[in-house]
Amino acid sequence: MIKCDILIIGSGIAAMQLARNLSADLHVIIITKGKWQNSNSFMAQGGVAAAVSSDDSWELHFKDTIEAGENFHNDSEVMKLVQIAPEMIKNLQNTGVRFDCYKNGNLSLGKEGAHSRNRILHCGGDATGKHIMEQFHLNLPQNVELIEGQFVYELLLDQNKNRCIGVKTRDRKGEKHIYRAGGTVLAAGGIGGLYPFTSNDHTIAGDGLALAYKAGVKITDAEFIQFHPTLLYVNGCTHGLISEAVRGEGAILVNDQGEPIMQGVHPLKDLAPRHIVAEQIFKERLAGRDVFLDISMIADFPDKFPTITDSCLKNGIDIEAGKIPVAPGSHFFMGGIKIDPHGRSSLEGLYSIGESACSGVHGANRLASNSLLEGLVYGKRLAEYLNHNRKECESAHKLSPISYQDIVIPVLPEKAVIQQKMMENAGIIREGRKLKTFIQWIESYGVLEIIKSDLDALPIQQIETIFMLISAHIIAVSSLSREESRGGHIRADFPNSRKEWESRHIINSIHGMEIGGENNESYQIEIHA
């Protein structure tokens, strides 16, 4: 058994920001499923949104965020996020991060969907995440231990079963490890791998969501999933993201007849909010038409977008031809573990930040390039909270006795089958009848009983499949319950948003479902210290 003060699950920007801001006298361990680079943060092409130009303001950034997320936010948290954004940029620069600038030394600010100003700071053209994460990794404090290649499959609870005191993991050889911690932080990313097409790293498949749910933690807003409109699409498969910054430079979406597909759909056309663009591409493809990103008007494309250019070349796409084949894919999870403004979950001793968490800053649809910003802000905020609340992380708690139900695990479906069914039933466009059938299919594998069972004896691959089914069930049930269309949740049988649902949040746990009240109130967590 290994003991530490703070245990962080995940190695993305929120996890690294937290680790580097914790007090130097705390023993901190980061555990990651793959390599430390296996995070969506490392892959982030776009950049960090912040109102740093003379013609911009936090008020405009706030307005754009609220409009993109269809007025479904914790407004006070959004306000704090956009107000502190310029400070986060200065902090990164002081850390050694060098944002792209023009020859005159001024910051090169890009524009992405639903932004009213150029406010996206980027590094290396389209390699922002890589630059920031490498700088963070290079400067990790000496009190932080990084452990790669261990899969967390259970949260440990104390004898009263109301506090998280650590985790169980399996390494690449299948050997079990136990970690005891004063505070455990889930920063394990989103749910992209639940779908066949995704911009996410191959290790991201909803593990954090399933872990928390199995331990009785509250999950909220799970129906809201953002599908990025433009993933490189070749021979029936997707091969990474084509950043929205490309459309910010003037590229437009066209079908195989050369017709612009966003004309007349939205006033912002190709820079409309992501769920609107993704839905339009989905409809074109459903009608049998291929969709391309016309980049012919962008001068020096390889210099501006080296990562995308390299990806296109590797997959046989001729950049000089001026068209990149694209398809939408799962990109970002607006829902997640329900947290308060400090990052505390509904389970004592368990915290969550980044894409694993739902803080209310993204509403029903995330504004482009607000995700890295969220990781920076909440990582630093949680560090400050833990630094000043040491007693909350005391680890003198006894383990809960094992009291799992004995259960026979059935033959489980292949991961590819789960992914395809997720896309068909809980993908870009949903419908009540299909969601009900899908939920029944998941439950036919005994997922509701498996949640209560001991997974110790199972191989990693089987646990991963179980976690996929748990996460899929949470999303499908939430999607069925929200009888409207809003942001990343589109119901064919309820095509319009409904005023009465504007302040309702669907909250799931193994103890049942509840509907939260007003937006700001729904994110407040009652902690029993």
Distance in angstroms (rounded) separating the CA atoms of residues 236 and 290: 11
- Nearest by Cα to 68 from 401, 440, 361, 400: 361
For every residue of 144-184, which 3-state class applies, written as one string? EEEEECEEEEEEEEECCCCEEEEEEEEECCCCEEEEEEEEE
453 within 8 A of 392, measured Cβ to Cβ? no
154 within 8 A of 39, measured Cβ to Cβ? no
220 within 8 A of 507, measured Cβ to Cβ? yes
3-state secondary structure of 305: coil
Distance in angstroms (rounded) separating the CA atoms of residues 474 and 358: 14
**In the Cβ-directed half-sphere of 185, how many Cα atoms lie within 13 Å?**
34
Strand partners, 494: 491
Residues known to be catalytic:
274
Q: Which two tokens stand for residue 428?
A: 């870009």
Cα 256 vs. chain centroid, distance in angstroms?
A: 32
Q: What is the DSSP pairing of strand 28-32 with strand 2-9?
A: parallel
Q: Which two tokens stand for residue 310?
A: 């390299």
3-state secondary structure of 6: strand
